[in-house]
Amino acid sequence: MLIVFEGIDGCGKDTQIELLKPGLDFEFLRYPTRNFGILNDYLEKKVKLSSKSLFHLFLADIADGQEKLKQKGRPLVLSRSVFSTIA
């Protein structure tokens, strides 16, 4: 089972995920991950990137996590996915 909470920063995704914890045993994955150094640098305001470059980095981050999405077993909860990234 895959459950995705989409939305902009500060819209309550983390709050909803916390409310889900007592009723469901799940694995959690938050995007963006910290797997891409340049993306981390952008998020920490160390570098500036064009919107096109930023978009591609966020999509690469999501693509990098696809193997985890294919795992069977416990439900997987994502904080963000493709739609929030595109927005």
Please write the tens of the pLDDT for every residue from 25-62. Answer: 998 888 788 888 898 899 899 999 999 998 899 888 88
The CATH number given to 2-86 is 3.40.50.300
pTM over 0.85: no
Whether cis (ω within 30° of 0) applies to the bond prior to 32 is yes
Domain range summary for the chain, segments of one domain joined by +: 2-86
